Amino acid sequence: MVALLSPLESDQARAIAAISDQLQLPVGQVGEVYRKEFDRLSVQARITTYLTVLTMRNVRSILAGAGKHAALR
């Protein structure tokens, strides 16, 4: 049985895959951070049109920052 994704879920799946490819990190790790950040942002979002874009930016920053801090330790 094939589950159909909503347009939002499809956008999120593409965003997670893109970040995973860009940062060379596992999809599962990126997905976990992405979902937490999306949920955090969506609580206060009045207009959700750009929520995926904002989430992508924040997730890239979070994961890239985590890598830099880990390298410094």
What is the per-residue pLDDT across 24-56, written as a single tens digit (0 to 9) for each?
A: 999 999 999 999 999 999 999 998 889 999 999
Angle of the 7-23 helix axis to the 51-72 helix axis, nearest 10: 30
Residue 51 CB partners (closer than 8 Å, separation 6+): 38, 41, 42, 45
- List of E strands, the chain: none
Q: Retrieve residue 55's tokens.
A: 């989430």
Q: Retrieve residue 39's tokens.
A: 């949920």
Are residues 15 and 55 in contact, defined by beta-carbon separation less than 8 angstroms? yes
Question: For residue 6, is pLDDT > 90?
Answer: no
Q: Please give the average per-residue pLDDT across 18-24, as a whole number.
A: 96
pTM of the model: 0.81
